[in-house]
């Protein structure tokens, strides 16, 4: 990697933010900067031609791929370090810093750049770029306290207003240091600057903004940021996150609309998200859509045809008054279940369809297998099925069984009395005939 590319690569350190000076720029602008700085509070000595020549030679060697030779040239300059002025010493350490960075020796690069800013009589531009480079390198090393220290020192010297990228570097450091309010202040400033220029805020800026609001427990603001991510970047994960946040802040109608749109767009590819959408359909009173969704997802293998999903599908069909479609699902669930709970649901579905014998068989199977939440209901189903099959004695016996269970006692007593009257009526009619 040549020095120019090496310097450009420093853009990617940490967060891809503000660039430090290119090395060749530092050389070529050195004399001019020193002259300019001499007009200010501190006088910057000029770089002598023989020193400049050595630095240019080291740069060319590095550009040609011979970094070791470049280091040797710098070593020759370093041997005469006591004869160098402060600006020349600073530029020597500057070269070392970039050479070490090119060799992936970050610790040595940091040490070299620290030596640059120890020199007092150096151009302000070099001081600023070096401090900023140090902040980026410390960020790469995940030393956030040190990063913040460099940035604050850089800001104390910098007289210009921060750019959006610079605000974001502060925001990233504050976030890593768990200073979430300061994170928001910085990232909000960056976003505001971007919008003021009619530019689209960068995606990773909004992601950081969302994360800071989340850490501060502000779900409404989190939702608003995700709305921007959906509008500006339209990625599947943002649609799903937005649906989840609408649910969290109580905007269920919006949650359903977003999740339904995500499904139609092909963004939902996880079973849990399909199940969530099915529950939303049920909650909003459209069980047939829930059933259609689940049936399609099971057919394609997105949702596994297991006990829970089959039960949810069957319940959706039942809620949609589609008992005939619910029965095959309940039968499959019954086959893999360890209890009679699906047989109980089958019994109720058959009863709704007036398939009395099937209702009776399923109710008896549910009672025999156990694990039914309300066993009294199964005795009621038995009684109703027997009654419609005109098995009055069996119906009375079933209702009598149901009367022994508190939850079904009242209804069973009413049915028992009704069947008793009907049985008597039938007996009187038979006698007349």
Is 3 or 126 the better-scoring residue by pLDDT? 126
Q: What angle do CA 253, 254, 259 make, to 5 degrees?
A: 105
Which candidate, 66, 72, 53, 90, places its Cα nearest to that of 2?
66
pLDDT tens digit string along 339-352? 999 999 999 999 99
Report the range out of 4-18, 139-153, 233-247, 321-335 with the highest average pLDDT. Answer: 233-247
pLDDT tens digit string along 290-300? 999 999 999 99
CB 168 within 8 A of CB 17: yes
Q: Do domains 1-158 and 270-336 have the same CATH topology?
A: yes
Read off the pLDDT of each residue in 1-28 and give the average, rounded to a whole number: 35
What is the biggest distance separating any 2 CA atoms in the chain, rounded to whole angstroms? 135
CB 202 within 8 A of CB 165: no
Q: What angle do CA 228, 184, 215 make, to 5 degrees?
A: 85
pLDDT tens digit string along 379-425? 999 999 999 999 999 999 999 999 999 999 999 999 999 999 988 88
Report the range out of 92-96, 198-202, 429-433 with the highest average pLDDT. Answer: 198-202
Architecture of domain 270-336: Alpha Horseshoe (1.25)
Which candidate, 309, 310, 306, places its Cα nearest to that of 326?
310
Query: What pLDDT, on the 0 to 100 scale, is given for residue 36?
Result: 47
pTM: 0.70
Neighbours of 304 (CB within 10 A): 12
Neighbours of 272 (CB within 10 A): 9
CB 124 within 8 A of CB 153: no
Read off the pLDDT of each residue in 148-154 and give the average, rounded to a whole number: 91
Query: What pLDDT, on the 0 to 100 scale, is given for residue 211?
Result: 97
pLDDT tens digit string along 176-196? 999 999 999 999 999 999 999
Q: Residue ranges per domain, the chain?
A: 1-158, 270-336, 357-433
Question: Burial letters for 32-43: b for 16+ Cβ neighbours within 10 Å, e otherwise?
Answer: ebbeebeeeeee
Is 191 or 25 the better-scoring residue by pLDDT? 191
Tell me the C-alpha distance between 353 and 135, whole Å. Answer: 74
What percentage of the chain has pLDDT greater than the value 90? Answer: 59
Secondary structure class of 236 (helix, strand, coil): helix
Q: What angle do CA 84, 89, 93 make, to 5 degrees?
A: 150
Distances (CA, A) of 226 to 59, 212, 222, 265: 47, 13, 6, 18
CATH of the domain spanning 1-158: 1.25.40.10
pLDDT tens digit string along 251-269? 999 999 999 999 999 999 9
Instruction: Give me the long-range contacts of 3-12 (CB less than 8 A, separation at least 24).
Output: 3/59, 3/62, 3/63, 3/98, 3/102, 4/63, 6/62, 6/98, 6/101, 6/102, 7/98, 10/101, 10/133, 10/136
pLDDT tens digit string along 374-387? 999 999 999 999 99
Query: What pLDDT, on the 0 to 100 scale, is given for residue 433?
Result: 62
What percentage of the chain has pLDDT greater than the value 70? Answer: 90
Query: What pLDDT, on the 0 to 100 scale, is given for residue 424?
Result: 84
Residue 18 has pLDDT above 60, yes or no: no
Query: What pLDDT, on the 0 to 100 scale, is given for residue 99?
Result: 87
Secondary structure class of 257 (helix, strand, coil): helix
Report the range out of 81-90, 125-134, 199-208 with the highest average pLDDT. Answer: 199-208
């Amino acid at each position: 990697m040549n020095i120019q590319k090496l310097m450009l690569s420093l853009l990617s350190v940490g967060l891809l933010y503000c660039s430090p000076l290119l090395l060749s720029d530092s050389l070529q602008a050195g004399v001019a900067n020193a002259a300019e700085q001499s007009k200010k509070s501190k006088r910057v000595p000029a770089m002598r031609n023989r020193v400049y020549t050595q630095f240019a030679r080291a740069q060319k060697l590095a550009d040609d791929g011979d970094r070791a030779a470049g280091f040797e040239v710098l070593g020759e300059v370093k041997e005469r370090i006591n004869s160098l002025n402060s600006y020349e010493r600073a530029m020597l350490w500057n070269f070392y810093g970039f050479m070490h960075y090119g060799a992936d020796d970050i610790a040595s690069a940091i040490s070299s750049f620290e030596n640059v800013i120890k020199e007092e009589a150096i151009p302000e531009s070099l001081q600023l770029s070096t401090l900023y480079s140090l902040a980026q390198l410390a960020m790469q090393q995940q030393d956030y306290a040190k990063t913040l220290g460099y940035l604050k020192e850089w800001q104390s010297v910098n007289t210009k207003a921060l750019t959006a990228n610079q605000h974001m570097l502060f925001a990233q450091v504050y976030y890593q240091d768990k200073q979430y309010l300061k994170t928001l202040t910085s990232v909000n400033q960056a976003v505001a600057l971007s919008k003021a220029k009619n530019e689209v805020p960068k995606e990773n800026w909004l992601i950081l903004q969302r994360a800071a609001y989340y850490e501060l427990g502000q779900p409404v603001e989190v939702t608003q940021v995700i709305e921007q991510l959906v509008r500006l970047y339209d990625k599947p994960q943002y649609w799903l996150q937005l649906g989840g946040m609408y649910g969290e802040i109580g905007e269920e109608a919006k949650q359903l609309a977003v999740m339904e749109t995500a499904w139609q767009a092909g963004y939902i590819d996880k079973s849990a998200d399909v199940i969530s959408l099915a529950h939303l359909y049920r909650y909003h009173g459209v069980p047939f859509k829930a059933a259609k969704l689940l049936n399609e997802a099971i057919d394609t293998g997105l949702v596994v045809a297991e006990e829970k999903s089959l039960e949810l599908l069957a319940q959706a069909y039942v809620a949609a008054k589609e008992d005939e479609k619910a029965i095959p699902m309940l039968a499959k669930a019954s086959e893999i279940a360890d209890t009679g709970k699906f047989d109980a649901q089958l019994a109720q579905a058959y009863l709704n369809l007036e398939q009395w014998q099937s209702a009776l068989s399923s109710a008896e199977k549910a009672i025999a297998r156990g694990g039914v939440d309300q066993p009294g209901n199964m005795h009621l189903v038995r009684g109703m099925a027997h009654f419609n099959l005109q098995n009055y004695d069996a119906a009375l016996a079933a209702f009598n069984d149901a009367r022994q269970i508190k939850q079904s006692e009242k209804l069973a007593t009413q049915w028992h009395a009704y069947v008793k009257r009907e049985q008597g009526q039938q007996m009187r009619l038979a006698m007349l005939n």
